[in-house]
């Protein structure tokens, strides 16, 4: 398993590098590119995490009707295809969007989002949901006993925050920041849609340029290495700041650690939830409205593509869960296992999809016809690329379960399969469901890496959507996008619901 992952991550890079004529030559604007990549990824990660803290905290503390649905819906942007999400954002923040219409009423000058603003906006849009969900899980994982203790000690306000919530944030936030940083590090489609021009050039774009414009595999491989290096460098810094939570056991999940409940805080929570909902759901709603009005243009070829995508999504989600679980269990048996898993997760995220796709092609091509293994490769690659999210979701839950119940399980002689079945899976079920849902949805929306493996007769739904777009049929494409969003979300919802059923 580990070997397979390392093959995907480094083997593909090696394959590309070996095929290159020489390994020299960085692009002329290398340093500005590195600087811009670092800056936008850092800002995007920081922004997403900082915004997510009040939202997750508010969601944790308040209970209201439809909360579960809202939490699920708030996850939707993360699984949207880039073009759909960005067109949605533009219908709110764009030149002709709601915002500028409103500004126009008051006689203001139009606001332009193109450039760094737009990039940060889009990255926050995609990643705020992820950060919120992961933080929410952090809050839920705070042991109940600790909250009760705090309550009985009469801790309130800042003191409670400092002793109960802050340690959790110190533990979780750096990792979440790093995950989002790395996602944004390899971001490429967003930047080329809303970035405004060559000022906004990232390393991933430079890799693309090396492949497409220069046909220079050596340059591409070198840039991919730089990308790994940056990710590694930032990982070291971010994880240094991390304070693992000291062991503290307690039973079950807390529901409402409302330690201070003044009016002001209630209003603040309400505002945080309201703003996040508006920010995340209005653009989505605008796109859905467009898709619904275009439903009549839904093209017949879209349906078989949708079924193909569904099958791949479910298969790769299951594959991804199995691989992630196996890896985590293996890692927990090692002394520095958690660090290994963390590192691996980030390596996968930092992998350039282009390099991975090309490398795989080079590895496979001498042995079989790449088109004939397209399905397998696609499933495997999707499973691999989705894995960091599952790892990030289940590892803390697994560690917690081991901390809380490990000794008891040991004393009962609960080992191996039985331990997994009776002790671990029930405890990590929410995390598992969430991770699998995310993996399925991401795979549905296409994490694909493999243009080189495509088979024209068997397109997937995102492929079909893009073909429609590139044949002037924007309306039909939006209808297909609606279907895509609906299916992705449906899958995510089902898996997530499974996870939370007994939680």
Partner 1 sequence: MTHRPNPPSVPWQNGEMTMKLTSLAVGLTLAATPLAAQDVLTVYAPDYFGSEWGPGPAIETAFEATCDCDLQFVTGDPLQRLLLEGERTKADAVIGLNTDVTKKARETDLFAPHGQDTSDLTMPIAWNDDVFLPFNWGQTAFIYDNTKLDTPPTSFDALLAMPDDVKIVIQDPRTSISGLALMLWVKQVYGDDAQNAWEQLAPKILTVTKGWSESYGLFTDGEADMVLSYVTSPAYHIIAEDDLTKSAAIFEEGHYFMVEVAGQLKTTDQPELTQAFMDFILSPAFQTIIPEGNWSFPAKLDDSLLPEKFSLLNIPEKTLFYSEDQAAAVRDSALEEWRAALRQ
The answer for residues whose C-beta is within 8 angstroms of residue 490's C-beta and 6 or more apart is none
Q: Closest CB to partner 1 among 190 and 230?
A: 190
Q: Closest CB to partner 1 among 361 and 389?
A: 361
Please state, in angstroms and rounded to a whole number, the distance separating the CA atoms of residues 224 and 208: 10
* 159-198 positions binding partner 1, by CB under 8 A: 188-189, 192-198
Only one of the segments 93-101, 162-170, 177-185, 318-326 lies at the binding site for partner 1 (rule: CB under 8 A); that segment is 93-101
| 360 to 399: interface string for partner 1, x by CB under 8 A | -xx--xx--x-xx-xx-xx---x-----------------
Contact in structure between 77 and 125 (CB atoms under 8 Å): yes
Q: The dihedral of CA 263, 266, 272, 275: what is its sign?
A: negative
User: How far apart are CB 422 and partner 1 at their closest, in Å?
Assistant: 38
Question: Is 91 a residue that touches partner 1 (CB under 8 A)?
Answer: yes
Please state, in angstroms and rounded to a whole number, the distance separating the CA atoms of residues 181 and 274: 26
Question: Is 35 a residue that touches partner 1 (CB under 8 A)?
Answer: no
The answer for residues whose C-beta is within 8 angstroms of residue 280's C-beta and 6 or more apart is 73, 74, 76, 77, 125, 128, 129
Question: Is 315 a residue that touches partner 1 (CB under 8 A)?
Answer: no
User: How far apart are CB 362 and partner 1 at their closest, in Å?
Assistant: 6
Please state, in angstroms and rounded to a whole number, the distance separating the CA atoms of residues 36 and 19: 29
Candidate residues 162, 336, 458, 501; the one interacting with partner 1 per rule CB under 8 A: 458
Please spell the DSSP secondary structure of 241-281, one letter per residue.
Answer: T--PPPP---SSB-S-------HHHHHHHHHHHHHHHHHHH
Question: Is 31 a residue that touches partner 1 (CB under 8 A)?
Answer: no
* 249-308 positions binding partner 1, by CB under 8 A: 299, 301, 308
Please state, in angstroms and rounded to a whole number, the distance separating the CA atoms of residues 212 and 21: 16
At residue 143, the 3 state secondary structure works out as: strand
* 48-87 positions binding partner 1, by CB under 8 A: 81-83, 87
Question: Is 317 a residue that touches partner 1 (CB under 8 A)?
Answer: no
CA atoms within 13 A on the CB side of 150: 21
Question: Is 208 a residue that touches partner 1 (CB under 8 A)?
Answer: yes
User: How far apart are CB 87 and partner 1 at their closest, in Å?
Assistant: 6
| 411 to 450: interface string for partner 1, x by CB under 8 A | ----------------------------------xxxxxx
């Amino acid at each position: 398993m580990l070997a397979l992952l390392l093959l995907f991550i480094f083997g593909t890079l090696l394959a590309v590098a070996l095929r290159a004529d020489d390994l020299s030559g960085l692009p002329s604007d290398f340093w500005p590119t590195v600087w811009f990549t670092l800056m936008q990824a850092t800002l995007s990660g920081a922004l997403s995490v900082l915004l997510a803290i009040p939202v997750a905290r508010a969601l944790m503390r308040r209970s209201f009707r439809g909360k579960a649905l809202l939490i699920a819906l708030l996850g939707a942007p993360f699984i949207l295809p880039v073009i759909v999400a960005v067109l949605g954002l533009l219908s709110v923040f764009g030149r002709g969007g709601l915002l500028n219409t409103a500004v126009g009423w008051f006689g203001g000058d139009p606001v332009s989002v193109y450039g760094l603003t737009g990039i940060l906006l889009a990255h926050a849009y995609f990643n705020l949901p992820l950060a919120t969900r992961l933080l929410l899980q952090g809050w839920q994982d705070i042991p109940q006993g600790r909250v009760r203790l705090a309550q009985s000690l009469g801790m309130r306000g800042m003191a409670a925050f400092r002793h109960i919530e802050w340690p959790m944030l110190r533990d979780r936030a750096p990792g979440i920041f790093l995950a989002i940083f790395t996602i944004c590090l390899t971001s490429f489609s967003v930047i080329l849609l809303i970035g405004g021009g060559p000022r906004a050039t990232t390393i991933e774009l430079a890799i693309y340029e090396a492949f497409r414009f220069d046909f220079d595999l050596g340059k591409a491989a070198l840039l991919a290495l730089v990308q790994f290096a940056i990710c590694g460098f930032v990982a070291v810094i971010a994880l240094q700041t991390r304070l693992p939570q000291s062991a503290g056991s307690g039973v079950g999940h807390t529901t409402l650690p409302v330690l201070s409940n003044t009016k002001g805080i209630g209003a603040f929570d309400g505002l945080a939830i309201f703003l996040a909902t508006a920010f995340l759901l209005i653009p989505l709603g605008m796109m859905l409205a467009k898709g619904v009005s275009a439903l009549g243009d839904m093209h017949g070829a879209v349906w078989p593509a949708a079924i193909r995508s569904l099958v791949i999504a479910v298969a790769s989600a299951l594959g991804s869960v199995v691989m992630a679980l196996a890896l985590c269990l293996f890692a927990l048996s090692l002394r520095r296992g958690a660090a290994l898993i963390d590192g691996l997760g980030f390596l996968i995220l930092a992998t350039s999809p282009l390099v991975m796709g090309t490398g795989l092609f080079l590895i496979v091509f001498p042995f079989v016809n790449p088109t004939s293994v397209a399905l397998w490769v696609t499933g495997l690659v999707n499973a691999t690329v989705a894995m960091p999210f599952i790892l990030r979701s289940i590892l803390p839950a697994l560690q917690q379960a081991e901390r809380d119940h490990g000794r008891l399980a040991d004393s009962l002689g609960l080992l191996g399969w039985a331990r997994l079945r009776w002790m671990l899976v029930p405890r990590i079920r929410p995390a598992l469901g969430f991770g699998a849902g995310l993996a399925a949805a991401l795979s549905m929306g296409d994490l694909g890496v493999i243009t080189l493996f495509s088979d024209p007769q068997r397109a997937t739904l995102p492929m079909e959507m893009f073909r429609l777009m590139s044949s002037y049929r924007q309306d039909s494409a939006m209808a297909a996008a609606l279907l895509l969003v609906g299916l992705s979300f449906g899958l995510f919802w089902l898996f997530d619901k499974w996870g939370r059923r007994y939680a």
